[in-house]
Amino acid sequence: MILKNCVGLITGASQGLGKAFAESLLKKGAQVVICDINQAQGEITRAEFDLRYGPGRTAFITCDVTSLPQLKDVFSQTVQTFGRLDVLCNNAGINNENSWERTISVNLVALIQASYLALDHMRRDRGGKGGSIINVASMSGFVPAAHAPVYTASKHGVLGFTRSLAEASSLGNYGVRINALCPSFVNTEILETVNHEENLGIFYQFKDNVKNLMQAFGVLEPSDVANGFVQLLEDDNLNGAVMKITTSKGIHFENY
């Protein structure tokens, strides 16, 4: 996919990884819609992008991805503003074992909803122009984690959904590539959640395990992960791919 003049929609992009993904698209000459529940930070990020990449290339829409009406509105506004939709990145995510149902709602249910809405716009076999969906999973999509069983379940779910939908897209000639991105620890606010009992709930006692893992494996920067994001979008051969990014091995793929 040639990213110049594409239109990308990224959820949870006020800060952290989503912001880095949005910036990588802007650097390639695309236009982006960033949506996030955090309105104040989203507006700051849009203003920053306007200054750096020129006004009118970034739109910010306040959205709680767990609300289907709000999510539908984001897709309509994206097409109204920029005339098309080529890329969806399902990035919004939380780590909360206390409100574990919400963790599943944000990390998995909303990702499924948004993927279906994107397919409605993109499917070539239904008159769309094709496109690309990237679902942000994690290394938690492969390994168990005592401090975060439900977060881990949500990310395992993201991989199963992504690989299955990619197969449907290929067999059904949707013309949409659907891939997953699995970084190990990245230097963003979500890492802070492991320091708080209100996030980890009864698993708070295992917080030192995860801190030891961070020490052992190291922490990536969002820009490292954005490089993988761009590779998944630009390589037209990738569908159903599961890209892993770690400090030791860099960008590589899971072979199932």
Ligand X SMILES: NC(=O)c1ccc[n+]([C@@H]2O[C@H](COP(=O)([O-])OP(=O)(O)OC[C@H]3O[C@@H](n4cnc5c(N)ncnc54)[C@H](O)[C@@H]3O)[C@@H](O)[C@H]2O)c1
Interacting residue ranges for ligand X, rule: CB under 6 A: 11-12, 14-18, 36-38, 63-66, 91-94, 106, 136, 138, 183, 185-186, 188-191
Find, among 195, 189, 48, 174, the residue nearest to 116 by Cα: 174
- The residue among 37 and 59 lying less far from ligand X, judged by its C-beta, is 37
Instruction: Residue 70: count other Cβ atoms within 10 Å of its Cβ.
Output: 16
Q: How far is the CB of 240 from ligand X (least distance, A)?
A: 19
d(CA 224, CA 20): 9
- The residue among 112 and 170 lying less far from ligand X, judged by its C-beta, is 112
Decide: 98 and 59 in contact? Cβ < 8 Å. no
Given the residues 53, 151, 174, 256, select the one marked as catalytic.
151
- The residue among 64 and 73 lying less far from ligand X, judged by its C-beta, is 64
- The residue among 3 and 37 lying less far from ligand X, judged by its C-beta, is 37
Q: How far is the CB of 161 from ligand X (least distance, A)?
A: 14
Q: How far is the CB of 67 from ligand X (least distance, A)?
A: 8
- The residue among 3 and 220 lying less far from ligand X, judged by its C-beta, is 220
Find, among 230, 33, 23, the residue nearest to 132 by Cα: 230
Is 151 a residue of the active site?
yes
Q: How far is the CB of 173 from ligand X (least distance, A)?
A: 29
Q: How far is the CB of 188 from ligand X (least distance, A)?
A: 3
Catalytic residues, which ones? 151
